[in-house]
Amino acid sequence: MEEKKVVLRDLLLKHPADIAEVLSHLSDEQASDLLHRLYLRRAAAEPLGEMEPEESAELLSELDRTEAIKILSRMDPDDAVDLLEELPEAEQRKILSSLGRKEAEVLTDLLAYPPDTAGGLMSPEVVALSLNMTAQEAIDLLRRRVEEAETVYYAYAVDEQGQLQGVLSLRDLALAQPETRLSSLLMREVISVPVEADVEEVARLFDKYNYYALPVIDSERKLLGIITIDDVIDVIREEATEDIYGMASVPIEERVDTTWLSSLRMRLPWLYVRLGTALLAAVVVGVFEETIAKVAALAVLMGVIAGQGGSAGMQTVTIITRGMALGELEPRRGWRLLAKEALLGIVNGLVIGATVGIITYLWKGDYLLGVAACLAMLFVLVVGGVAGVAIPLGLRGLGKDPALASGIFLTTVTDVLGFGFLFLLARLFLPGFK
Amino acid sequence: MEEKKVVLRDLLLKHPADIAEVLSHLSDEQASDLLHRLYLRRAAAEPLGEMEPEESAELLSELDRTEAIKILSRMDPDDAVDLLEELPEAEQRKILSSLGRKEAEVLTDLLAYPPDTAGGLMSPEVVALSLNMTAQEAIDLLRRRVEEAETVYYAYAVDEQGQLQGVLSLRDLALAQPETRLSSLLMREVISVPVEADVEEVARLFDKYNYYALPVIDSERKLLGIITIDDVIDVIREEATEDIYGMASVPIEERVDTTWLSSLRMRLPWLYVRLGTALLAAVVVGVFEETIAKVAALAVLMGVIAGQGGSAGMQTVTIITRGMALGELEPRRGWRLLAKEALLGIVNGLVIGATVGIITYLWKGDYLLGVAACLAMLFVLVVGGVAGVAIPLGLRGLGKDPALASGIFLTTVTDVLGFGFLFLLARLFLPGFK
């Protein structure tokens, strides 16, 4: 915005991530003009690889196709695929058919893997060494391949069938005596990632083992590619954003700089979903309209009681779904968690129920109303705790993402049951209804 | 649990992270016994470094002090400091005074940095090369230092004053001709981290630039240490957990395996905070008890209306706080965001207000009640949007973490104002009160 005229020479000295930042702050026209000038200096591919794929795809489609194709072929294949995935299929096919045959093949293979799996994350540009090389021969090979390889901090050794046999770090290689054979430097116990593994599982492996890169293999242990830790950081941040957004029913594509019209289109459907669940709870209240007309204090209590159930339940939901995301929740623990949360619900319910019961009695001087408030609070806190475990576990059992929908289900359950139980108690207990 | 007797020989072949996992699944007694046996094989330090500091500190304090001190001195200093921070101060001092003088100094220096800053995250074990070395000399130096250095994927060059002058990767070094001088291999434009930088800022730098390590400097550009990307992954996951927990008022220490009594102690205070805010809203409802007794339908509507305000406001809060955490929110954009959310509130409010107004009319046949519901919905959705921007920005302005408290403030505002406005409208509009 500030920088009306970007001086190309200064810009070229910067890190590609900084150039990417400049590009995404310019107007569409200025950005495509700058990208064109970067292209002429062979400096367009790297910054594009640093941008969000939606952004880079939009920017690239502003250029004429021959330029776009040249830039794409200079990008790292994993970044190029992320970008291609954002384009309409017809455009994808046109670009793939204009690329060199080998390049097109690599990209077509990568496009076949779902984006949220190890295959969608990996780069195929991995150097495979053979077991009987010496350290020096390996270094010489890596030196020749340094330009295209995704990383040479690790190198993997394969047998004649292409099956992964071991790993060695460039550190070990560079620091070893030159004539040492790879087979004696090799670590045979390689942590590897199955190509179909979920990205969350990949993130957990990196988090646990602290490696900078992991090899990706197919079901026959053939080496397919490599995933580097910097790509995993993006995944972890994105997964966290997804989970946080899920809790508040925010559409996953929205960011602070989304235009208001797109925000409206994305948020309104969610607000209608919420409205639907709120109306469900309202129907319960509506059924007891007469009861409320007689004892208006119930209208005061109902929000407090159902709200506490929702709050306590959301604490449970949050701990369970986060535990799942971090891989800390062992599947067979379901029953123990349920028992724990039920117990917590009872104790919390007695303590908070007594508090609310006493406040109600002090306010209205009606001890039966106080007892009703206390019991309803106890009930709704147990419901919140139990539903807080059952809903996310149930959603996961059905193959759904528990972070996305648990909150809506939970508050519906605590509202409906909380209101219903309070009003039922009132009808049973309070003298006016006898 | 399953493995009653852990076979040490098999275990020693495993990755330290796997050994750490075994340790944290054993009973206290079995774990300290295994740790002792690992210690005898000089294999206790690495698994301890892979555990959560609270866990490893507890485990270490089970051993006798001389063993504990030997293990600590073999740990990476950044891991050792994380562990020390979990111990009582008296214990910390005793351990530090029993360590070798140089080791104690390093740890004391590190302990002085707040844990949530770059200083608290860094390792001081960085190899500093001097500018006029050759590539071969640098490799030889690194080879001698490989055991103690935190990473030699990058090496940093400093001048005589210890000031950071440039960076080169081991990859460049290993692949360069041996006689090349460092000064010609060096990248002078080094991205570095100020020692007092917040960990979230550190995470952003790693996310943006995709480096595997970054050097940490003081205000005079002196090289103090190095932060590696694997430590940043932990930080990113922890920050995400904190933000997610904050949204649901879950105490930050709680995990799926926390005992029920600790969970109770941690969650109950939060439930009381929520109860306090709910009672505040209840007071507003209580003021209008008579109004409700006359038009019980208001009790049905009030939850729907305040709930929508809360839902819409939480969408806004979530986008704003996540944008802050990811560093995507530029400070001077506050007013534009406020305008955008106010506009969204008006449009959402008209659409959803009309829906609810019509439903109300169809239900009660009272068009004035429908109009009141529609206007109250419009009002509360504008309030939700505006407060959804103002609360997190305000909290940040006060130096508080917006992710932790925004939700509670927001729902209090939408409840109190939503209820209040609906009842006021009812008194003004509805014939019964004229």
Could you tell me which chain A residue has the CA closest to the CA of B356? A275
Whether residues B271 and A320 touch (CB distance < 8 A) is answered with no
Which of A207, A285, A304 faces B234 most closely, judged by CB atoms?
A: A207
> Choosing among B51, B311, B378, which should be mutated to test the A contact, i.e. which has the most A CBs within 10 A?
B311
Alpha helices in A127-228 (DSSP H): 135-145, 170-175, 182-185, 199-209
Average pLDDT over residues B253-275: 88
Could you tell me which chain B residue has the CA closest to the CA of A407? B248
Render pLDDT for A58-72 as a digit per residue (tens, 0 to 9): 898 888 888 889 998
**Considering only CB atoms, which chain A residues are within 8 Å of B240?**
236-237, 240, 243-244
Distance, in Å, from the CA atom of B26 to the CA atom of B32, rounded to the nearest integer, reads 9
Instruction: Supply A346's token pair.
Output: 């009872």
Is the pLDDT at B378 greater than 90, yes or no? yes
Torsion, Cα of B4, B9, B13, B16 (10° steps): 60
A331 secondary structure, DSSP code: G
Count residue pairs from A and B with Cβ separation < 8 A.
Answer: 305
CB atoms within 10 A of CB A321: 28
Distance, in Å, from the CA atom of B215 to the CA atom of A375, rounded to the nearest integer, reads 59
- Asked whether B270 and B251 are in contact (CB, 8 A), the reply is yes
Distance, in Å, from the CA atom of A213 to the CA atom of A190, rounded to the nearest integer, reads 11
> Choosing among A11, A175, A249, which should be mutated to test the B contact, i.e. which has the most B CBs within 10 A?
A175
Which of A244, A274, A355 faces B322 most closely, judged by CB atoms?
A: A244
Sheet holding A223-228, edge to edge: A193-194, A213-217, A223-228
Distance, in Å, from the CA atom of B169 to the CA atom of B151, rounded to the nearest integer, reads 11
**Considering only CB atoms, which chain B residues are within 8 Å of A315?**
248-250, 267, 270-271
Whether residues A143 and B301 touch (CB distance < 8 A) is answered with no
- What pLDDT is attached to residue B3? 47
Could you tell me which chain B residue has the CA closest to the CA of A262? B344
Whether residues B308 and A271 touch (CB distance < 8 A) is answered with yes
Percent pLDDT > 70 in chain A is 96
Whether residues A278 and B308 touch (CB distance < 8 A) is answered with yes
- Asked whether B150 and B179 are in contact (CB, 8 A), the reply is no
Q: Could you tell me the residue ranges of all domains in chain A?
A: 8-112, 128-229, 260-433
- Nearest-Cα distance to chain A for B90, in Å, is 32
Average pLDDT over residues B184-202: 90
Is the pLDDT at B168 greater than 90, yes or no? no
Query: What mean pLDDT is reported for chain B?
Result: 88
Whether residues A240 and B245 touch (CB distance < 8 A) is answered with no
- What pLDDT is attached to residue B421? 95
- What pLDDT is attached to residue B433? 58
Closest CA to B203 of A240, A169, A49, A399: A240
At A1, the pLDDT band (50, 70, 90 cuts) reads very low
- What pLDDT is attached to residue A306? 93
Helix or strand holding residue A31 (H, E): helix A28-40
Which of B233, B271, B314 faces A308 most closely, judged by CB atoms?
A: B271
> Choosing among A177, A318, A344, which should be mutated to test the B contact, i.e. which has the most B CBs within 10 A?
A318
- What pLDDT is attached to residue A194? 96
- Nearest-Cα distance to chain A for B101, in Å, is 30
Instruction: Supply B342's token pair.
Output: 């106010």
**Considering only CB atoms, which chain A residues are within 8 Å of B13?**
189
- Nearest-Cα distance to chain A for B93, in Å, is 30
Render pLDDT for A149-179 as a digit per residue (tens, 0 to 9): 656 577 899 988 889 999 987 777 877 888 8
CB atoms within 10 A of CB A160: 7
- What pLDDT is attached to residue A4? 45
- What pLDDT is attached to residue B42? 87
- Asked whether A59 and A30 are in contact (CB, 8 A), the reply is no
Render pLDDT for B379-408 as a digit per residue (tens, 0 to 9): 999 999 999 999 999 998 898 888 888 988
**Considering only CB atoms, which chain A residues are within 8 Å of B300?**
282, 285-286, 289
Is the pLDDT at B434 greater than 70, yes or no? no
Whether residues B300 and A285 touch (CB distance < 8 A) is answered with yes
Distance, in Å, from the CA atom of A410 to the CA atom of A388, rounded to the nearest integer, reads 7
- What pLDDT is attached to residue A298? 92
Could you tell me which chain A residue has the CA closest to the CA of B21? A208
Distance, in Å, from the CA atom of B239 to the CA atom of B203, rounded to the nearest integer, reads 10
- For B260-433, the fitting CATH number among 1.10.1740.110, 3.30.429.10, 1.10.357.20, 3.90.1150.10 is 1.10.357.20
Render pLDDT for A384-427 as a digit per residue (tens, 0 to 9): 999 999 999 999 889 888 888 898 899 999 999 999 999 999 98
- Nearest-Cα distance to chain B for A281, in Å, is 8
- Nearest-Cα distance to chain A for B91, in Å, is 29
Distance, in Å, from the CA atom of B26 to the CA atom of B21, rounded to the nearest integer, reads 9
- What pLDDT is attached to residue B131? 85
- Nearest-Cα distance to chain B for A36, in Å, is 23
The CATH homologous superfamily for domain A8-112 is MgtE N-terminal domain-like (1.25.60.10)
Render pLDDT for B352-366 as a digit per residue (tens, 0 to 9): 999 999 999 999 899
Q: How far is CA A66 from CA A44, A93, A95, A99, B278, in A?
A: 14, 14, 9, 10, 62
Which of B170, B285, B318 faces A300 most closely, judged by CB atoms?
A: B285
Whether residues A255 and B328 touch (CB distance < 8 A) is answered with yes
Sheet holding B128-130, edge to edge: B128-130, B154-158, B164-169
Whether residues A245 and B318 touch (CB distance < 8 A) is answered with yes
Distance, in Å, from the CA atom of B80 to the CA atom of B106, rounded to the nearest integer, reads 10
Which of B267, B308, B323 faces A315 most closely, judged by CB atoms?
A: B267
Distance, in Å, from the CA atom of B31 to the CA atom of B311, rounded to the nearest integer, reads 47
Helix (H), strand (E), coil (C) string for chain B: CCCCCCCHHHHHCCCHHHHHHHHHHCCHHHHHHHHHHHHHCCCCHHHHHHCCHHHHHHHHCCCCHHHHHHHHHHCCHHHHHHHHCCCCHHHHHHHHHHCCHHHHHHHHHHHCCCCCEHHHHCECCCCEEECCCEHHHHHHHHHHHCCCCCCCCEEEEECCCCEEEEEEEHHHHHHCCCCCEHHHHCECCCCCEECCCEHHHHHHHHHHHCCCEEEEECCCCEEEEEEEHHHHHHHHHHHHHHHHHHHCCCCCCCCCCCCHHHHHHHHHHHHHHHHHHHHHHHHHHHHCHHHHHHCCHHHHHHHHHHHHHHHHHHHHHHHHHHHHHCCCCCHHHHHHHHHHHHHHHHHHHHHHHHHHHHHHHHHHCCHHHHHHHHHHHHHHHHHHHHHHHHHHHHHHHCCCCHHHHHHHHHHHHHHHHHHHHHHHHHHHHCHHHC
Is the pLDDT at B10 greater than 90, yes or no? no
Distance, in Å, from the CA atom of B207 to the CA atom of B105, rounded to the nearest integer, reads 32
Could you tell me which chain B residue has the CA closest to the CA of A313? B248
Sheet holding A128-130, edge to edge: A128-130, A154-158, A164-169
- Asked whether B63 and B71 are in contact (CB, 8 A), the reply is yes
Distance, in Å, from the CA atom of B83 to the CA atom of B350, rounded to the nearest integer, reads 56
Whether residues A303 and B285 touch (CB distance < 8 A) is answered with yes
Distance, in Å, from the CA atom of A60 to the CA atom of A146, rounded to the nearest integer, reads 27
Is the pLDDT at A197 greater than 90, yes or no? yes
Distance, in Å, from the CA atom of A337 to the CA atom of B106, rounded to the nearest integer, reads 43
- What pLDDT is attached to residue B9? 80
Distance, in Å, from the CA atom of B174 to the CA atom of A302, rounded to the nearest integer, reads 71
**Considering only CB atoms, which chain A residues are within 8 Å of B290?**
296
Query: What's the distance, Cα to Cα, between the start and end of chain A in Å?
Result: 72
Question: Residue B233 contacts by C-beta under 8 Å, 6 or more apart in sequence?
Answer: A206, A207, A210, A229, A232, A233, A236
**Considering only CB atoms, which chain A residues are within 8 Å of B246?**
none
Fold assignment, A128-229? CBS-domain (3.10.580)
At A316, the pLDDT band (50, 70, 90 cuts) reads very high
Compute the residue count for chain A: 434
Instruction: Map residue A27 onto helix, strand or coil.
Output: coil
Is the pLDDT at B302 greater than 90, yes or no? yes
> Choosing among B271, B272, B380, which should be mutated to test the A contact, i.e. which has the most A CBs within 10 A?
B271
Could you tell me which chain A residue has the CA closest to the CA of B145? A175
- Nearest-Cα distance to chain B for A279, in Å, is 7
Render pLDDT for B417-433 as a digit per residue (tens, 0 to 9): 999 999 999 988 887 65
Which of A281, A307, A326 faces B237 most closely, judged by CB atoms?
A: A326
Render pLDDT for A228-287 as a digit per residue (tens, 0 to 9): 888 888 888 888 888 888 888 888 888 888 888 988 998 999 899 999 999 999 999 999
- Nearest-Cα distance to chain A for B320, in Å, is 6
The residue type of B205 is L
Distance, in Å, from the CA atom of A178 to the CA atom of B236, rounded to the nearest integer, reads 39
Q: What is the CATH number of domain B128-233?
A: 3.10.580.10
> Choosing among A25, A242, A304, A408, which should be mutated to test the B contact, i.e. which has the most B CBs within 10 A?
A304
Q: How far is CA B246 from CA A295, B277, B335, in A?
A: 36, 16, 25
- Nearest-Cα distance to chain A for B175, in Å, is 5
Instruction: Supply B394's token pair.
Output: 């305000």
